[in-house]
Amino acid sequence: MGKVAVGVAVGVAVVACAVAGMVVGRRVGSRRKWKRVVRVLKELEEACETPVGRLRQVVDAMVVEMHAGLASEGGSKLKMLLTFVDHLPTGSEIGTYYALDLGGTNFRVLRIQLGGRRSSILSQDVERRPIPQHLMTSTSEDLFDFIASTLKQFVEKEESGSEPSPVRTRELGFTFSFPVKQSSLRSGILMKWTKGFAIEDMVGKEVVELLEAALVRSGLDMRAALLVNDTVGTLALGRYHDADTVAAVIIGTGTNACYLERADAIIKCQGLLTSSGYMVVNMEWGNFWSSHLPRTSYDIDLDSESPNPNHQGFEKMISGMYLGDIVRRVILRISLESDIFGPVSSRLSIPFILQTPLVAAMHEDDSPELKEVAKILKETLGISEVSLKVRKLAVRICDVVTRRAARLAAAGIVGILKKIGRDGSGGITGGRSKSDVKMRRTVVAIEGGLYTSYAIFRQHLHGALSEILGEDVAQHVVLQVTEDGSGIGGALLAASYSSILQRG
Ligand code: BGC
């Protein structure tokens, strides 16, 4: 071989080695990268773990806090608020009633006509309107003027063409889904805002007074017959359809629950008079806290950067307002620690850019190529061209975050059942085996997009309920979706109390 030929051969070999080295180097680099990613994912999975033992601890903590909240004002982070609702609709309600349902990103106005026989809502008209973002942080006057004018247009539309009735003032059930300290059925002050609302002048004010002042300004002849939380409306509609309904849960933008409590168990109001011996208690469970809750660094950051740090801890792990943002934070961290999502997208740093319905859409993408996941990563988060493996990772993150949320919500529900003796633990009827459990049928009315529109969330929740309660008991517990319950239930309660008052 001549010198030149040898030189060329050596040169080729050197280049070949260098290329091979680069490929191996890249592989090693990419393996290292994935190692880092796997580590972050593993940490997340471990921190979010909710084995049944831990869920039972959460159940017990919930029961302890319920007792503490009922025992004294401020005795627990669970406020256990009085609602003054001591009768639930029976089905015999008659007449036309309005409702206003304010509490999330939308508000609804409704009119229902009741025929006097259970389940016979003769007609029902609903109008939904998004609340303009700026009104959520403006003044109470701006917010209520907007609501009153929408309500007025709705009433005019509904009543146009119909005979002017020998009108008594129209009655409205006002569903207001924030923590309110009530002093009667139709009065109460806003304790604090949740779910992104922040109208400072309203905190500490009588909510009904603000609404009625706006109704007067708008010239609409209507009075708020009562003020209820959305969970209470949901319970009322649940009960209207099914007399075994004992509690209601909302899992939507925010989360909360209420249930029917014995008046004598509400120790903080000794001597509370109710003609039924019961009162609905609004737990405000979004603010529940326990050291048994599986908390991650993402939750801690989300909380400290939120407008209400140290509040609504349970809600921040469960509800629709927050799940998307937890997922965003995990993807951001992975993006900062590896380049599997490509160059770090600036959109990943925008709080709340990834909303929970998009998490559901990624999670439920059943196309082989995960096309929906690719689309959302690209269009919402500015992450394009990622491999199938990376898309699968995104789905896995959605699952970890959603599973924890659903299972914690299930533990909350069992907490209520345990508090009122409907968890089967006291119900063994002298028999020895589990199949001897005698449980009364127990219905929990449930509403909120996370539960109604996110099938995998629902499956995880049901799975956890069965694990905690055991199949034998769980089969007696029915979670009944009550569509539009928060608003319709408010109108039903207005009807129910109006007939009670008329009877004297
Ligand atoms: C509010 C509750 C409400 C729940 C569901 C929470 O943020 O504090 O009053 O029931 O959201 O809408």
Q: Which of 76, 86, 101, 108 is catalytic?
A: 108
SS3 318: helix
Q: What distance in angstroms lies between residue 122's CA and the mean position of ligand 1's atoms?
A: 29
Which residue of 195, 228, 249 sits with most ligand 1 atoms within 8 Å of its CB, as the best mutation to test the pocket? Answer: 195
* pLDDT score, position 165: 57
* pLDDT score, position 273: 74
User: Is 301 designated active site?
Assistant: no
Q: In the structure, what pLDDT confidence band is assigned to residue 92 with cuts at 50, 70 and 90?
A: confident
Between CA 426 and CA 442 the distance in angstroms is: 14
Q: What distance in angstroms lies between residue 177's CA and the mean position of ligand 1's atoms?
A: 5
User: Is 297 designated active site?
Assistant: no
Count Cβ neighbours within 10 Å for each residue of 18-57 and write b for 16 or more, e otherwise. Answer: eeeeeeeeeeeeeeebbeebeebbeebeeebebeeebbbe
Class of domain 49-82+231-425+438-484: alpha beta
Q: In the structure, what pLDDT confidence band is assigned to residue 23 with cuts at 50, 70 and 90?
A: very low
Between CA 412 and CA 448 the distance in angstroms is: 16
Contact 424, 472 (CB under 8 A): yes
pLDDT tens figures, 122-158: 677 889 999 998 999 999 999 999 999 999 999 998 8
Q: In the structure, what pLDDT confidence band is assigned to residue 18 with cuts at 50, 70 and 90?
A: very low
Summarize the confidence of residues 331-359 as an average pLDDT: 97
Half-sphere exposure of 414 (CA within 13 A, CB side): 29
| pLDDT above 60 for 116 | yes
Q: Whose CA is nearest to atom 2 of ligand 1?
A: 178
Q: DSSP string covering 6-71, please?
A: HHHHHHHHHHHHHHHHHHHHHHHHHHHHHHHHHHHHHHHHHHT---HHHHHHHHHHHHHHHHHHHH
Give the C-alpha distances (Å, rounded to integers) separating 31 from 21, 38, 386, 411, 429.
Answer: 15, 10, 16, 39, 59
Return the higher-pLDDT residue of 48 and 22.
48
Kindly list the domain boundaries of the chain, sorted by start residue: 49-82+231-425+438-484, 84-228
Q: In the structure, what pLDDT confidence band is assigned to residue 4 with cuts at 50, 70 and 90?
A: very low
SS3 287: helix
Q: What distance in angstroms lies between residue 256's CA and the mean position of ligand 1's atoms?
A: 5
**Measured distance between the N- and C-terminal CA atoms of the chain, rounded to whole angstroms:** 117
* pLDDT score, position 164: 57
Return the higher-pLDDT residue of 388 and 425.
388
* pLDDT score, position 104: 80
Summarize the confidence of residues 249-259 as an average pLDDT: 97
* pLDDT score, position 53: 98
| pLDDT above 70 for 118 | no
Which residue of 255, 283, 447 sits with most ligand 1 atoms within 8 Å of its CB, as the best mutation to test the pocket? Answer: 255
* pLDDT score, position 2: 42
Summarize the confidence of residues 322-350 as an average pLDDT: 97
| pLDDT above 60 for 479 | yes
Cβ-Cβ contacts under 8 Å for 486 (sequence gap 6 or more): 101, 103, 175, 177, 230, 231, 233, 234, 250, 447
| pLDDT above 70 for 427 | no
* Matching residue, tokens 């039972």: 56
* pLDDT score, position 24: 45
Q: In the structure, what pLDDT confidence band is assigned to residue 351 with cuts at 50, 70 and 90?
A: very high
pLDDT tens figures, 169-200: 889 999 999 999 999 999 999 999 999 899 99
Length of the chain: 504
Return the higher-pLDDT residue of 498 and 218.
218
* pLDDT score, position 430: 38
Closest approach atom of ligand 1 to CA 178: 9
Domain 84-228 sits in which CATH superfamily?
Answer: ATPase, nucleotide binding domain (3.30.420.40)
Pocket of ligand 1 (CB under 6 A): 103, 177-179, 194-195, 229-231, 250, 252, 254-256, 284, 286, 315
Return the higher-pLDDT residue of 124 and 75.
75
Summarize the confidence of residues 64-76 as an average pLDDT: 97
Q: Copy the structure tokens of residue 459.
A: 């499956």
Specify the pTM: 0.91
Contact 457, 252 (CB under 8 A): no
Q: Whose CA is nearest to atom 11 of ligand 1?
A: 254
Between CA 391 and CA 406 the distance in angstroms is: 23
Q: Whose CA is nearest to atom 1 of ligand 1?
A: 178
Cβ-Cβ contacts under 8 Å for 493 (sequence gap 6 or more): 85, 88, 89, 173, 226, 228, 232, 233, 236
User: Is 404 designated active site?
Assistant: no
Indicate the pairing of strand 106-115 with strand 94-102. antiparallel
3-state helix, strand, coil in the chain (%, to 5): 50, 15, 30
Identical fold, 49-82+231-425+438-484 and 84-228: no
| pLDDT above 50 for 428 | no
Closest approach atom of ligand 1 to CA 179: 9
Which stretches of 253-312 are DSSP H helices? 297-304
Between CA 203 and CA 212 the distance in angstroms is: 17
Cβ-Cβ contacts under 8 Å for 12 (sequence gap 6 or more): none
Q: Copy the structure tokens of residue 476.
A: 């007696």
Which residue of 284, 308, 311 sits with most ligand 1 atoms within 8 Å of its CB, as the best mutation to test the pocket? Answer: 284
